[in-house]
Chain A
């Protein structure tokens, strides 16, 4: 379909680059729904029993796998399809992401209707997860090319949308379920269908308005820095060559450790606040706490990525890995003095840096490996997120269980976890400190791409199809 071809998305003279961030937000605000999927968990445990779970109803533990499968396929699809996204252009990727994401909702709606859990695993988990992966990386390199003067801010805006998607999805889903529910029916299937339709429209609007800049385009008045900068390359590294560099794996660990520390406490924030401040923080207040730190997660994505344009990526992560351990160590102290305000302040800053870690990393990759394959390299780096998604919650939950099993009061059961999280960030600090410029032997030569294309055509044995 030529409408989706990269060549059809090249901007004409007069196109404003400020149209591109809303296009990216159309995608990220939709796929950010993943963070709000938990609003469906309880209703889906009562689809048969309606007022309470019946023996044939699904268990929470079974439903928990839906999100885990989706996050796994996010990382896997971003890694596998990254190069396709980069070479096919953002419109094709956004369009496909919309089809997968909305299709996942439709298949899940059928799964709810016929009460077959495997259809939801396949729908939301597999198809939705692929939509998440494609959608997440689709606008990244396009934004970096449109904003060479502020790449951190540009990608920060889009990735902020991923954090903000849950703020829209959560109340919208609750409202839709209320509208479609009756005393004899819970309207989850209808809500899935509505969300699928809404998200498809939204994502296709994004795919329609997105544009790539013409080759060698620069913003009016922008002068690329003449003096060479040690940690900002002017060369490109081929996507699979990036995997051979120590820099890729150091950044992989930087992201993984930063996310592990944040995701572990994000998942347990509600329980942690109530158990550390018994009698002071109610269940309703704890829900408010989760909402508040999620706002900082979203705001931090824009704030820290924008700051990184001024102070550099390495220095931004230096802030995360020096401030983070201090704040984690302070958390048990806030519990011991009973200060809810200080506890909230600590976690607000911690979660802002968790979000900042996500949004600053595309620009870090661009600095290290150039803009040519940054989207694909970013896709492969997202496997760090999948790993952290398992590691973080496991660390927090198991250490808490172990502590309580050994007679530690609930209010103090998180202390060791906080110290371990601080330790993880210290390891992240070391990884970040070890990052140096990529060796020139990894840089693409001007004739590199032509050689590679010829080799691929020969390997395929079908020049026309290639």
Chain B
């Protein structure tokens, strides 16, 4: 058992898995930041 994905998990699978959760989260954070800018206008 290793934690570098040498046999089982490929780097592509890791990218897809993190992108699957990371992209929606980044979009939501961006929307919130844009709205938060109103505080400093």
A and B form one complex: yes
Contact surface of A with B, Cβ cutoff 8 Å: 11-19, 22-23, 25-26, 29, 161, 164, 166-171, 205, 209, 213-214, 217, 219-220, 281-282, 284-289, 291-292, 294-295, 298, 340, 344
* Chain A residues, Cβ within 8 Å of B29: 164, 167, 295, 298
Among A15, A285, A291, which residue has its beta carbon within 8 angstroms of that of B41? A285
Say how far A271's CB is from chain B's closest CB, in angstroms: 15
Query: Is there an interface contact between B24 and A29, defined as CB atoms closer than 8 Å?
Result: yes
Q: How many residues of B contact A (CB 8 A)?
A: 30
Query: Is there an interface contact between B31 and A19, defined as CB atoms closer than 8 Å?
Result: no
Query: Is there an interface contact between B35 and A291, defined as CB atoms closer than 8 Å?
Result: yes
| Residue on B nearest A283 in the bound complex, by CB | B38
Q: Which of B8-29 contact A (CB under 8 A)?
A: 8-9, 13-14, 17-18, 20-22, 24-25, 27-29
Closest 6 pairs (CB-CB, A-B): A14-B7, A14-B8, A167-B28, A16-B5, A16-B9, A168-B28
| Residue on A nearest B19 in the bound complex, by CB | A22
Query: Is there an interface contact between A19 and B14, defined as CB atoms closer than 8 Å?
Result: yes
Among A164, A219, A292, which residue has its beta carbon within 8 angstroms of that of B28? A164
Query: Is there an interface contact between B24 and A18, defined as CB atoms closer than 8 Å?
Result: no
The total of interchain contacts (Cβ-Cβ below 8 angstroms) comes to 108
How far is B13's CA from A294's CA once the two chains are assembled, in angstroms? 31
Say how far A138's CB is from chain B's closest CB, in angstroms: 15
Query: Is there an interface contact between B21 and A167, defined as CB atoms closer than 8 Å?
Result: no
Given the interface pairs A287-B38, A344-B39, the reply to whether A171 lies near B20 with Cβ below 8 Å is no
* Chain B residues, Cβ within 8 Å of A22: 17-18, 20-22
| Residue on A nearest B21 in the bound complex, by CB | A25
Contact surface of B with A, Cβ cutoff 8 Å: 1-9, 13-14, 17-18, 20-22, 24-25, 27-29, 31-33, 35-39, 41
Query: Is there an interface contact between A14 and B2, defined as CB atoms closer than 8 Å?
Result: yes
* Chain A residues, Cβ within 8 Å of B31: 167, 170-171
* Chain A residues, Cβ within 8 Å of B8: 11-16
| Residue on A nearest B11 in the bound complex, by CB | A16
Query: Is there an interface contact between B41 and A167, defined as CB atoms closer than 8 Å?
Result: no
| Residue on A nearest B27 in the bound complex, by CB | A168
How far is B20's CA from A323's CA once the two chains are assembled, in angstroms? 36
Query: Is there an interface contact between A19 and B17, defined as CB atoms closer than 8 Å?
Result: yes
* Chain A residues, Cβ within 8 Å of B5: 14-16, 18
Contacts A/B (CB < 8 Å), 13 sampled: A14-B2, A18-B14, A18-B18, A19-B9, A22-B18, A22-B20, A25-B21, A25-B25, A167-B28, A169-B28, A288-B37, A291-B35, A340-B39
Given the interface pairs A13-B7, A14-B8, A19-B17, the reply to whether A168 lies near B25 with Cβ below 8 Å is yes
* Chain B residues, Cβ within 8 Å of A292: 32, 36, 39
Say how far B37's CB is from chain A's closest CB, in angstroms: 7
Say how far A12's CB is from chain B's closest CB, in angstroms: 6
Say how far A276's CB is from chain B's closest CB, in angstroms: 14
